[in-house]
Amino acid sequence: MSLCLNCEGRLERPSSLLPSYILETNEPPTESQIPSIRDFISRARSHKSLLDSKIAQVQSLLQELLSERDEVDNEIRKHEGALSPLRRMPPEILSLIFTSTFSRTLFSEQSAPWIASAVCSRWRLIALSPTFWTTISDQDHHFNLFNLNAQLARSGDLPLTITFTCEVQSITADYESKVADLLAAHSARWETISLDGPEVFFSRIQRTLPQFPMLRKLEVEIQSTEPPASSTLSIFSHAPRLAEASINVSSWPFPVAMVLPWHQLSRYRATVEWGGLADLASASALVECMLDLGADQEPANLNLGTILLPRLLRLSISHRRILAYLETPVLGELYDHDRDNFASLSGAASLPRTLTTLVLVRNMDLVDQVDLLSIVGAIPALKSFGFTRLMPWRLVLNFLCSISTRAPALEHLSLAVKGDLPLELIDAMQAMEWGTWRLRSLRFWTTAVANEQLDRLIATLRGHGVDVETVDFRHELYGGMVPETLWMASH
């Protein structure tokens, strides 16, 4: 029996009277059986045709039902979407979410602001807020002029943060020239700017007669394989709000003559010539400074006089002789990258007594333990000391045993150590008087393999309240001692 869709009954299935042994074996039928076989075949074919017709009807009905189900499912999703919390979320909250998730480098159509602005009209209205379009970066040359124009238009009148790199070989290319002109046209909105390019790139910007009423932070890298021409770059001389300037300290460590509003700078980082130190005479507001004179030696006829920096708190230098020209009455942190040997008497005598932090980065190995103790002992307020040259463990442990009397204010110590740990000195440390011990942290990198002696030393120090940290790589030691803004790439 088969189901009939029209009458909701079942169709009669044709039956065969032929014996099973004829159908299931190779036995031939008798002459009397042949008409019966032919009659069954005829009736079965008619029944099959009827079934095919009914199947087609069922398949058509199934497709209609599936299509209707999809439509209902789509309506359900729409109605569920209407109940989504995002629908009821205030625009201010959604804007805060966008603020915390959008990339600050909006240089690709695949970045979040571009995608969010295409989701729906409500999201687009929020995503097109000018605050999301004020950071522009072209370090990888992935942007196009259409997007750059769109982003500048969407940023409204808000201050801009811009990073742009122009390759030396491509300054004459149409792309770099048009981008430079377009960015320069908005120079009145520059707040933070980082420009990396050859001198001709800056000359092109200067020809547009830019104005910088909002500029607060400036980073300039003038590309060159040799020291630039002696011409002075004065493009940024009139920037009434400029407080931070960084000139050729990363990729191109050549001195550049710049005219800046020195009297208002609070932070200054630069690769300079010895004569360029004279500019600091007008920089009385400096609180942080990094000066890299490269491998240049001090000229014999240099006559700078004394440069007073009354507010300077942090100083990073490549040559210790710079200190001879500076008067820094409140200097608290000194990061000394001088390559020369730090003789105990002359070195200690040249250091400001106001220091609370001293890091010796590139100094040659000290002659003996007395040198190190003389340096830290000559600065009564010194709380943090770092030394990146490799020192033997014997010298380090003798130093640790002496700091309670020679450097009583010292609280933080960072060192690079070589060699094996002498067991007798660990015993001496355990037996020492810890009453005046003020050291609170010890951070070190060592060439020694972890062993029982090292574990014992660490346990002893931690038992007396010292936070001990080992670093895996030597550059991590430098990164932990010197603030990133005072790193010196050439060293």
CATH at 350? 3.80.10
Determine, yes or no, domain membership for 461: yes
Can you tell me the distance from the alpha carbon of 196 to that of 236, in angstroms, rounded to the nearest whole number?
A: 15
The pLDDT of residue 490: 66
Q: Are strands 288-292 and 384-392 parallel, antiparallel or unpaired?
A: unpaired
The pair phi, psi for residue 358, each rounded to 5°, is -135, 125
Determine, yes or no, domain membership for 136: no
Determine, yes or no, domain membership for 242: no
Determine, yes or no, domain membership for 93: no
Residue 387 DSSP SS3: strand
Determine, yes or no, domain membership for 256: no
Strand partners, 190: 160
Residue in 338, 292, 284, 291 with CA at minimum distance from that of residue 312: 284
- Per the listing, tokens 């019966």 go with 36
- The structural domain count of the chain equals 2
- pTM of the full structure: 0.78
Identify whether the C-beta of residue 316 lies closer than 8 Å to the C-beta of residue 290: yes
Whether residue 392 sits in one domain with residue 310: no
Question: Sign of dihedral through CA atoms 104, 110, 113, 116?
Answer: negative
* Structural domain boundaries, residue 319: 261-297+304-329
The pLDDT of residue 218: 96
Whether residue 485 sits in one domain with residue 339: yes
Determine, yes or no, domain membership for 70: no
> pLDDT truncated to tens, each residue of the chain (491 aa)?
445 555 555 668 888 878 887 888 888 888 888 888 888 888 889 999 999 999 999 999 999 999 999 999 999 988 888 888 888 888 889 888 888 877 655 555 667 788 888 888 888 998 898 988 888 887 555 557 888 888 899 999 999 999 888 765 554 467 777 888 888 899 999 999 999 888 778 888 888 878 899 999 999 988 776 665 556 788 898 999 999 999 988 877 678 888 999 999 999 999 988 888 999 999 999 999 999 987 667 777 888 889 999 999 999 999 888 998 999 999 999 999 887 655 544 455 578 889 999 998 865 555 444 467 778 888 889 999 998 888 888 888 888 888 878 888 899 999 988 888 877 777 777 777 666 678 899 999 888 777 788 888 888 889 888 999 999 888 888 888 999 999 987 66
Residue in 107, 185, 184 with CA at minimum distance from that of residue 142: 107
How close are the terminal C-alpha atoms of the chain, in Å?
Answer: 94
Biggest distance spanned by C-alpha atoms of the chain: 136
The pair phi, psi for residue 300, each rounded to 5°, is -70, -30
Whether residue 392 sits in one domain with residue 278: no
Residue in 105, 126, 125, 124 with CA at minimum distance from that of residue 115: 124
Whether residue 359 sits in one domain with residue 428: yes
Can you tell me the distance from the alpha carbon of 301 to that of 108, in angstroms, rounded to the nearest whole number?
A: 54
350 HSE (CA, 13 A, CB side): 17
The pLDDT of residue 108: 57
Whether residue 341 sits in one domain with residue 310: no
Residue type at 463? G
Determine, yes or no, domain membership for 308: yes
Determine, yes or no, domain membership for 378: yes
Residue 66 DSSP SS3: helix
